[in-house]
Amino acid sequence: MRPEEVARVWDVGAVRAVAPLGGGSINGAFRVWAEAGTFHLRVYRSTEQARVEREHAAIALAVEAGLPTPPPLVTRAGGTVGRSGAALAALFPVAPGAPVARGSLTPAHAAALGAFLADLHDRLPSSAPFDVPGLGVSSVGRAIERLERVRSALLALPRPDEVDGWALERTGQRLAYLGASPSPDYPPAFPSRFLHGDYHDGNVFFGGTRPTALIDWEQTRRAPRAWEVVRCLHLSLGLNPALGEPFLGAYRARLSLPAGELADGAAFYALVQERNVWTYESVYLEGNPGPRMFIRPPYVPSGKAWAESGLA
């Protein structure tokens, strides 16, 4: 998006520069330097305006609950959704602090992530005054069908690189697992509620070891809160007990989380992950290179990884 386009859509005065930022797995991210200050420009990959508006409604709900999340600026035309050519876009204040690289997270950071998530669950209402999708789970047959399409696309690559090789290996391993010993369907025993949906270290900004902001509400959904706890333990902390135990201790110091509820969330998370094909479809069928960062060997079924972690 050119500087004059930003100034035409948002009332931020003269725009001196717009520069791309790395790290986004789905949407385009840019830093904007304008007369009114420094901003974060998000250019959405999705063309569904209702989805973007739902994210902005979730942010408004979080701000109302007292959570530190930057709200989108209102455009000159009204509303918070702008356009960059044919793409939807939004402009945000720059969040205070910065993410901590995953490999640099310490037990203190992990405890802060746990306490911050508990505060999030405590402050957010359990339901939202707008439509929020539930967390769906593919059938085994549908997951196999989708993985077969990914494998065909991988085999057709003219010059596969190392990541493509990992993707092909993991796709084959997942197909073998789903064909031989898939987990049975598992309806969670605990109720679903309104959640951020993508809570992990990349979306939490820190000042030192203190969380200062939470960004990216595009994946908000209804699911059991323990699913979100286990998801962060897995994605951010690698189910490492040295980090997971401080995380859970800090969460439980803020909110009660019985072992049975955590185990139920872990079982549901394992089922969802076992049948989740989004990363591979996004990269190899939809042409989005961002999620390539998540493709790493080896493939370990989530239920097995959780059991081996000893976290409870």
Q: Which domains does the chain have, with CATH numbers?
A: 3-93 (3.30.200.20), 102-136+185-276 (3.90.1200.10)
Give the mean pLDDT of 115-135.
97
Distance of alpha carbon 181 from alpha carbon 205, whole angstroms = 39
Q: 66 near 172, Cβ under 8 Å?
A: no
Give the mean pLDDT of 236-240.
97
pLDDT category at 24 given cuts 50, 70, 90 is low
> How do residues 186-206 score in pLDDT, each as one tens digit?
899 999 999 999 999 999 999
Minimum mean pLDDT range among 20-34, 195-209, 294-308:
20-34
Q: Supply the mean pLDDT for the chain.
A: 95
Q: Which of 190, 216, 306, 206 is nearest to 23 (CA)?
A: 216
Half-sphere exposure in the Cβ direction for 309 (13 Å, CA): 23
> How do residues 47-76 score in pLDDT, each as one tens digit?
999 999 999 999 999 999 999 999 999 999
> How do residues 82-111 score in pLDDT, each as one tens digit?
998 889 999 999 999 999 999 999 999 999
Tokens of 229: 């706890």
- The predicted pLDDT at position 30 comes to 95
- The predicted pLDDT at position 216 comes to 95
Burial of 130: CB neighbours in 10 Å, binned 0-12, 13-18, 19+: middle
Give the mean pLDDT of 122-127.
98
Give the mean pLDDT of 232-259.
98
| Distances, alpha carbon 127 to alpha carbons 69, 111, 121, 132, 211, in Å | 19, 27, 11, 9, 24
Q: 202 near 23, Cβ under 8 Å?
A: yes
Q: 221 near 133, Cβ under 8 Å?
A: yes
Give the mean pLDDT of 135-153.
96
Q: H helices of 124-258, where?
A: 140-155, 162-180, 225-235, 241-254
Give the mean pLDDT of 112-124.
98
pLDDT exceeds 90 at position 46: no
What is the value of pTM for the model shown?
0.94
